[in-house]
Amino acid sequence: MNIDTIVEKVRADGWCVIPQVIPTNEVSLICSDVAEEVEKADQEHRAFVVEMEAKGHKVSGHGIGSASGLISLLPVLHPYLTNENILGAAEAILGPFVRISTVSGLVNNPGVKRGYWHSDWPFNQTVAAKVPAPYPDVVMHLSSIFMLTEFSEKTGGTLIVPGSHRFPNNPSGSNGVDAMAPYPNEMNSTGKPGDVLFYDSRLWHAVPDNPSSIPRVAISIRYAPWWLNLNAQKAGHPDHQMIVVDTNGKGNTNPILPAAIYDSLPNRAQLLFQHWLS
């Protein structure tokens, strides 16, 4: 799949699956490393879920493990940060000077139940720092999910609503759609280990049931244009304090990137992360 095809599919449908971004012979090792880091971070993530729900905020997917700042922990990911097709498509859609906004590990454990329909930041209306609905028909952020295990109906491939990236709101806001109910044209995104689900961050999606006996493991990497303010995701930054903390709002933070990790990145990848330097 070339860059032009990816761009065409994302513009028209809001998503596409890019095959075999990570070679088959490398996926299992990366999967094991990601699962290990997520397990280490699990207690912290569960505490975050409890805190947000105690404040009355909606959090998707009990039984999901998450670890942020994965780039500092897993140098094995570095070669895939500048994948020619993904980065080329991101630049074709968002313009030059694209930045990576987040790198997180995700594990949907067996028995996970369906989550709520939402769009990713900055379109998730439950988050303090957001583009308020109705938002304009503009691509402001791109998301990707690197599949490290099989994504299928059996294991719970991420639920998506094709074409929903052109809607001016999503069910995380009050748009009249039941955020927990099936949607008429919903589908599971499917793919093999090493494939990547690449999508407009406005696309409606939801955590699916995982009725299998195995965890579904993935990496989430998101891409932002240079003009999108990421400071609300930086703990200690005045924007984060004002927008999230002072309003008692819901928000996620990304760990600052240590200089030693930044120096170890390929030159092209450094340009994607210099905004996260300490």
How confident is the model over 248-277, as a mean pLDDT?
Answer: 88
- How far apart (Å, rounded) are the C-alpha atoms in residues 141 and 192? 25
If pLDDT is split at 50, 70 and 90, which confidence band does 50 have? low
pLDDT, residue 221, reads: 95
If pLDDT is split at 50, 70 and 90, which confidence band does 189 have? very high
Weakest-pLDDT range from 171-185, 186-200, 240-254: 240-254
pLDDT, residue 257, reads: 87
How confident is the model over 263-270, as a mean pLDDT?
Answer: 88
Q: Which residues of 106-134 are buried (b: 16+ CB within 10 A; e: fewer)?
A: bbbbeebebbbbbbbbbbbbbbbbbbebe
pLDDT, residue 46, reads: 58
Give tens-digit pLDDT for 220-262: 999 999 999 999 999 889 999 999 999 988 887 888 888 988 8
Weakest-pLDDT range from 29-43, 80-94, 106-120: 29-43
DSSP per-residue letters across 194-248: T-EEEEETTS-EEPPP--SSS-EEEEEEEEE-TTS--GGGSTTSHHHIIIIITTT
Asked whether the predicted pLDDT for residue 97 surpasses 70, the reply is yes
Contact 227, 108 (CB under 8 A): no
If pLDDT is split at 50, 70 and 90, which confidence band does 68 have? confident
Cis amide bond preceding 134, omega within 30: yes
Asked whether the predicted pLDDT for residue 49 surpasses 60, the reply is no
- How far apart (Å, rounded) are the C-alpha atoms in residues 163 and 175? 16
How confident is the model over 110-130, as a mean pLDDT?
Answer: 93
State which amino acid sits at residue 74.
L
pLDDT, residue 256, reads: 86
- How far apart (Å, rounded) are the C-alpha atoms in residues 212 and 150? 11
Asked whether the predicted pLDDT for residue 45 surpasses 70, the reply is no
pLDDT, residue 255, reads: 84
Contact 169, 134 (CB under 8 A): yes
If pLDDT is split at 50, 70 and 90, which confidence band does 266 have? confident
Within 8 A by CB and 6+ apart from 86, the residues are 6, 18, 21, 144, 196, 198, 223
How confident is the model over 187-191, as a mean pLDDT?
Answer: 96
Asked whether the predicted pLDDT for residue 11 surpasses 90, the reply is yes
pLDDT, residue 108, reads: 92
How confident is the model over 167-184, as a mean pLDDT?
Answer: 95
Asked whether the predicted pLDDT for residue 54 surpasses 70, the reply is no
pTM (whole model) above 0.75: yes
- How far apart (Å, rounded) are the C-alpha atoms in residues 138 and 202? 9
Average pLDDT of the residues of the chain: 90
pLDDT, residue 44, reads: 62
